[in-house]
Amino acid sequence: MAYYVLLTKLTDEGRKTLKDYPERLKEVNEEVEEMGAKIIAQYAILGDYDFINILEAPDNETIAKISTELGARGTIQITTYVAIPIDEFLKAIKK
C-alpha cells in the first residue's frame, strides 16, 4: 500500500454545501473508502488549503480515480502528493 497527501480547497459551491450540510464531509469520507482508499488522518487547516487528508491506497490509479471523481463534483480542488514513509525513503537512498 502507498500513502498519499491530498490538500483540498473548497470551492464556493463546496463551502455552501458544507455550511448547509456539515455531515456531508463524513459521507464523502465513506465514499472515498468505498473507492478503495483508507483515510489515515484528516485535518481542517488554515491557510491556502481547507483540509489535509492522509490516505493509504493500493496504487496511483486508485488515487487518480478518487481525485477525479471528487474534483468533478465542483465542490473541491485537490492537490495530490505521494508520501514515502521515512524508513522506506532511507532504505531507497541507501541502494
1 pLDDT more than 90: no
- Count up the domains in the chain and report the number: 1
Report the alpha-carbon distance of residue 63 to residue 57 in Å, rounded: 7
Cell numbers that stand for 54 in this block:
492522509
Cell numbers that stand for 14 in this block:
463546496
User: What confidence tens digit (pLDDT) does each residue in 34-84 have?
Assistant: 999 999 999 999 999 999 999 999 999 999 999 999 999 999 999 999 999
* pTM for the full predicted model: 0.89
Position 8, amino acid: T
Give me the domain span that covers residue 52. Answer: 2-94
Check if the beta carbon of residue 35 is closer than 8 Å to that of residue 66: yes
CATH number of the structural domain spanning residue 6? 3.30.70.920
b/e for 57-71, b at 16 or more Cβ within 10 A? beeeebbeebbeebe
